[in-house]
Structure 1
Amino acid sequence: MIRLALRDLRRRRTEAALLLIAILAATTTLTLGLVLRDSASDPYESTRAATKGPDVVATAGQAADLGELATAAGVTEHSGPYPVIAGKLETSGRTSDVQVEGRDATAAAVDQPEVTQGGWVSDGGAVLEAAFADSLDAGVGDSVTLGGRSFKVVGVAVTAAMPPHPGASCIVTVGCVNGAIPDDRELPAGLLHNPGLVWLTQADVRSLASDRSSLSYVMNLKLADPDEAPAFADRSGGDRGGPMRIQTWEGILADATDLARDSQILLLIGAWLLGLLTVASLSVLVGGRMADQTRRVGLLKAVGGTPGLVAAVLLAEYLLVAAVAAAAGLAIGALTAPLLTESGAGLVGSAGTASLTWSTIGLVTAVALGVAVVATAVPAVRAARSSTVSALADAARPPRRTGWLITVSARLPVPLLLALRVAARRPRRLMLGVVSIAVTVSGIYVLVVLDAFLGIQPDTGGYDENQVETLRHVLLVWTVILLCLAAVNAIVITWATVLDNRHASALARVLGATPQEMTVALAAAQVLPALAGAVLGAFPGGWALFAAINAITGGDSDKATLPAPWQLIAMVLVTVPAVAALTAVPAHLGGRRPVTATL
């Protein structure tokens, strides 16, 4: 069985390569999404280990409110309470909201920020959070102004006690807002917009405070069991009437890896779209190959092969290709993942070469094999159960006569008449063509929506320009693969139609159709379903896909900028000529086949 499968793959190398590319595209994108999920937390874990990261961070308006937490059940170590004040930082003509935390010059038992440049806090010296310093293009030796006083930047550091800028959560009780108010709008009193983090000595922080009410306090706690952090937060925060905010390390991790998580979601969306296109592509390739292997099936059965053996031989070819594609997709995805997401300036380390977990390997392999089985099982079983005599004869299959189709097409120009009848001969292939284009256009619809969403992020404070660029790279990856696979699908469907209709095309030529008319007919047979698929994908398909994505990810579709009507029309108008251009070459080759040789 293995020998027969390998021999047939060697005889049809082009088709085997197309199968490999189709499955490889889906498995690579799926691997990227799964690997990003697993590798996103690695830089944060490195930062947490290097900085003695806390399990719980508690903030309150009064230091006394935090005193009981240090002796609460389950707490093994703590640092603080440290004073915190909100302010404005000015440097190089730029002004930013900041939260200034007072620290001791000596190392803390919990949450001792890791200095990456310069040194730690000293009188008159400020230490900037690394991602915040990177956004300001500030470094050691620069001067910054806080509360009308000038401070020298003596160091740059990272911490695991809060997400890197601009995702840092406010630890001041006056309130803060992340990404809700654009830079050009006036903020309500007491609110901070994407604040940066600055460390000073406790004495310097207290000297900046106009009165004691402007100070808040933060305490970092280490628990005997870090996994109990959510339960500890519920117990500690629920029994206090005063304003207190308790954040767990899991919540900080989620915020710190927000970019990688969004990259993963985008890639998984692309992976499932590519999976649908792969099923369509494989179904067409399998159908064409089964029709081409009819005589081979008859020979296998004539020399003693059972229907089960014949079906297994036909199925083994695609499972072998799927297994190779899964292995290649896993390797490429793991090696490419670090290029799509970096730890950034606010964390220690980088994603590096992500390790593949057994769950990722199993899921990607199962998807690849599943796609191959879904696309090939029914045609393989149908071919294996066919009559041995009819398979050996390999006679042309007579067309199905459809009265209404003959009536509708009889008065059309010859190319359209032939195109309708060619399309009607294979209704399942016609539907696959419609679905393939609809999935592609739906993906483009979602791309337009996401691109518009990313375009407003720097203004609304959701993501900075570098993060938006990273997400655009992720979008570009699956968009290019999606369009390439859709193009391959269009070519494969056309070529399968050419091969399937070679006898009918030759007869039409004998009866007077010209090669040019046959070329137009074969191309038009693909353009008609492309038009239907583009219309379905432009509105109902794209909107439904976007709604499904929002339902899965918990997004708010009401805030999204949906494509304008002219954009939907443009999608349709661009798709149809693109499909016509892609199908022109195989249609031209099929329309000019020698009649005598074919018959």
Structure 2
Amino acid sequence: MTVGHLLLTWRLILRDIRRRPGEAVTFLLAVTLATASLTLGTATTDAVSTGYAKTRAATAGPDVMSSTTDPDPSGFASRLAHLPGVTALGGPFFAFDTTIRAHGRAARCAVEGRGTARSAVDRPLVTSGTWVRPGGAVVERGFARALGVRVGDRITVRGRSLPVVGTAISAAIAVYPWGDPAQGARPADWGGMVWLTTADAHAAAGGTPGVHLIYLKLSDPAAARGFGRSAAFQAVRPTGWLGYHYWQDVLRTDTAMIQITRPTLVVGGWLLTVAAMVTLAALATARATRDNRRAALLKAVGAGPGTVTAVLLAQYLLLTFLATALGLAAGALAAPRLVDPSAGLLDTVSPPDSGTVAAAVLLTLMVAATGALGPAVRAARSGTVDALADPAHLLTHHPHLNAVTAHLPTSLLLGVRLLARRPGRAALACAGTGATTILVTALLAWHTELDATPAFKRFGPLEVRTDQAGHVLLAVTLAMVALSTLNTVLLGRSTAVQARRALTVARTLGATPGQVVRALCFAQLLPAVPGVAAGVPAGLGLYWIFGTTVTPPGSWLLTAALTILLATGALTALPAWAHARNTAGRVLSAGTA
């Protein structure tokens, strides 16, 4: 393509966007939502790893974390410090497990005694306020958020009321609610972390037995998993109980926080992609007459089919790649907050990796090719004279269909024949409705699981992870519902516009405006029914794969299915009613749009 052709294409794109900015914004928003969701889903694991690595670097995070009840923890720590491969040691730090109270709520946590001097290994990073001082407590940031406490608030530790002087994060513990390393030989599944001075920790513990935490830095962090099994380590084991874990265990635990969220985003991203394809196809169908006329004018002045196809596709390709960039940027900005729901990591925005970019580009190319390539090629191949004249498109003759529908009511007969005339549009409507039904069904399953969970189990890990997954699922579902609403209106409008002459002829033969409106609604509702019927079991199956085997009440599923179908009919009736307002004579005598 020459420079002149490129300049012409660019001018035509700008002219079309200026004349109809709503269509461009609609398509841009649809593809951006799909790309952002998919980007978040594919980038979450890397975002957790990146956040944890930055937290380890900023806090001198340990490679091996051990806790012991040895009566001589200092001697055990000294023996560990002389083991081969150990480059630095922090501790031993006294810690005990207890239940604290804040704002009337009780929560389990570890209380660790620390000095005011910086430790060689594990130096918690203060994110607000100051570090520990006599009579003051520092709360791990994620735990503080769960409790709703800030600097200046007070917490109660074993009857002692202490002011919160700061919040901090550490890589030696997993993010809340798995941040309690002082539970001894019988660890529970959740808890937080509070730091006091060593004297305050011993005073608060009283006669409560505790453990001593020792943090090790190794010359080869990758070899941490084999450290506990080494002969050298076994030779210096303490006399009391010993527990230890590695930095890889902490990272795996942190990643588990998003094990429900990630599939929601990935599956939701691909379902939003289906909705974006429907949006683009609906927009391309709605502007088919304009594109046909533009193609005819270009060919009339000497443009070939290749040039015409390129001109018609250029705007869609430009918008898809712009939407890809916006989606990737939005996903990268949102990923740190999404993957760290308990605020326990040092989160910073990082650019998406090559795999995420490749997935996003593939998604947008699929959208552009599926939604716009077919209409553009058809417009390029159409005859110049026919496209300029915009002749009436007669209904395709289907002898068997005519025989089957001959005895149907007028509205249903017209609707079935409109459906048979454009089966591709019916497939789009079915796919879009099915995608929406899948997410709505999954959301109902999530609520069913939450309602079936005993209240005492909703705190801790289940509370944080379920809330996060629920918020993400709700956001993706709302985005899908919004796109489906838009798609239903666009498909209804395009069907009404393209069938205006055929339906007007039906009106001249005796069909009433109400029958025409119902016919257009039937043309949209008939393909929506199998979409809903397939979407309900598909949504349950996906939830069972990634979640738990729970089934919402049948009344919920039936109500959701009927609501989707009623909404589809109501949204289709709006453009259908606008079409039926025009008199038959006006439509038949109107020129090209």
TM-score with structure 1 setting the length: 0.81
Q: What does the per-residue CA deviation read over 1:478-522, in whole Å, with 9 as the maximum and x for residues that have no partner? A: 222111100011111111111221221121112111222111211
Aligned counterpart, 1:437:
433
Contact 1:99 1:172 in 2 (8 A): yes
SS in 2 for 1:325: helix
State how 1:109-508 maps to structure 2 within 5 Å.
Answer: 109-114=120-125, 116-117=128-129, 119-120=131-132, 128-132=139-143, 135=147, 137=149, 142=154, 144-146=156-158, 150=160, 152=162, 155-158=165-168, 159-178=170-189, 194=191, 196-199=193-196, 201=198, 205=202, 208=205, 215-230=210-225, 232=227, 244-256=242-254, 259=257, 263-290=261-288, 292-334=290-332, 346=344, 351=348, 354-357=349-352, 359=354, 360=356, 363-387=359-383, 391=387, 394-453=390-449, 456=453, 459-460=456-457, 461-463=459-461, 471-508=469-506
Alignment of 1:75 onto 2:86: yes
Distance 1:312 1:102 in 2: 69
**SS of 1:54's equivalent?**
coil
- Amino acid of the structure 2 residue aligned with 1:24: T
- Secondary structure of residue in 2 paired with 1:293: helix
Taking the aligned partners of 1:237 and 1:451, their CA distance within structure 2 comes to: 52
Q: Displacement, 1:412? A: 1.9
Residues 453 and 251 (structure 1), Cα distance of their counterparts in 2 relative to 1, 3 Å cut:
farther
Q: Per-residue deviation at 1:289?
A: 3.4
Q: 1:131 to 1:14 in 2, by over 3 A?
A: closer
Classify 1:58/1:501 alpha carbon distance in 2 versus 1 (closer, same or farther; 3 Å). same
1:21 to 14, 29, 51: 29
Residues 513-546 of structure 1 show CA distances to partners (whole Å, capped at 9, x for unaligned) of 12221112112211222233222212x2212332
- Note the C-alpha offset of 1:434: 1.1
Tell me the SS of whatever aligns to 1:59.
strand
CA RMSD of aligned residues (A): 3.9
Q: 1:219: Cα distance to partner?
A: 1.9
1:296 is displaced (CA, Å) by: 3.5
Letter in 2 for 1:442: I
C-alpha separation between the residues in 1 aligned to 2:76 and 2:329? 52
Does the C-alpha gap of structure 1 residues 89 and 300 become closer, same or farther in structure 2, counting only changes over 3 Å? closer
Aligned partner of 1:186 in structure 2 is none
Question: For residue 356 of structure 1, what is the amino acid of its counterpart?
Answer: P
Tell me, yes or no, if the aligned pair for 2:337 and 2:347 is still in contact at 8 Å: no
Cα deviation for residue 55 of structure 1 reads: 2.1
| 1:221 CA drift (Å) | 1.1
Contact conserved, 1:102 with 1:200, CA < 8 A, in 2?
yes
Cα distance, 1:45–1:594 mapped onto 2, change above 3 Å = same
> Over residues 236-262 of structure 1, what are the superposed CA-to-partner deviations in whole Å (9 max), with x where a residue is unaligned?
899799975433324324434655675
Q: CA deviation at 1:128?
A: 4.7
Deviations 1:112-161 (A, max 9, x none): 33455455365x87655454455274877957454xx7585685453321
- Describe the superposition over 1:312-370 as per-residue Cα deviations: whole angstroms up to 9, x where unpaired: 222212101212323333444555667767775655x665xx34346355543443233
Summarize the Cα distance change of 1:231–1:597 in structure 2 as closer, same or farther, 3 Å threshold.
farther
Report the Cα distance in structure 1 between the residues aligned to 2:155 and 2:34, rounded to whole angstroms.
51
1:17-56, CA deviations, whole angstroms, 9 ceiling, x for partnerless residues? 3322322322333345556655556665554344322122
**How far apart are the structure 1 equivalents of 2:131 and 2:275?**
55
Q: Distance in 2 between matches of 1:104 and 1:74?
A: 26
Which whole-Å CA distance do the structure 1 matches of 2:274 and 2:234 have between them? 51
Q: Is the 8 A contact 1:418 1:521 kept in 2?
A: yes
One of 515, 519, 522 as aligned partner of 2:520 = 522
Contact 1:80–1:219 (Cα < 8 Å) also in 2 = yes
CA 1:19–1:30 in structure 2 vs 1: closer, same or farther (change >3 Å)?
A: same
| 1:402-446, Cα deviation, whole Å (9 max, x unpaired) | 333222322222111111111111111111111111110111111
Question: What is the rounded CA distance, in whole Å, between the counterparts of 2:89 and 2:294 in structure 1?
Answer: 76
Q: Which amino acid aligns with 1:398?
A: L
Distance 1:234 1:376 in 2: 60
- Structure 2: give runs of 5+ residues left out of the alignment: 589-593
Q: Which residue of 1 aligns with 2:554?
A: 565
The normalised TM-score by structure 2 is 0.82
Q: Partners in 2 of 1:504 and 1:39 — Cα distance?
A: 55
Q: Distance in 2 between matches of 1:486 and 1:278?
A: 9
Task: After superposition, give the CA deviation of every residue in 1:249-292 in whole Å (9 maximum; x if it has no partner).
Answer: 24324434655675555433332221111112222332443455
8 A Cα contact 2:138 2:166, kept in partner:
yes
- Structure 1 residues 237, 474: closer, same or farther in 2, change over 3 A? farther
Asked if the contact 1:458–1:464 (Cα under 8 Å) also holds between the matched residues in 2, the reply is: no
2:591 is matched with: none
Please state how far the C-alpha of 1:593 moved relative to its aligned partner: 3.2
Alignment CA distance shift 1:138-1:306 (3 Å): closer
**Cα distance in 2, alignment partners of residues 142 and 393 from structure 1:** 79
Name the stretch that deviates more: 467-476 or 481-490.
Answer: 467-476
* CA displacement at 1:400 relative to structure 2: 2.6
1:593 to 563, 570, 582: 582
Native 8 Å contact 2:110 2:191 kept in 1: no
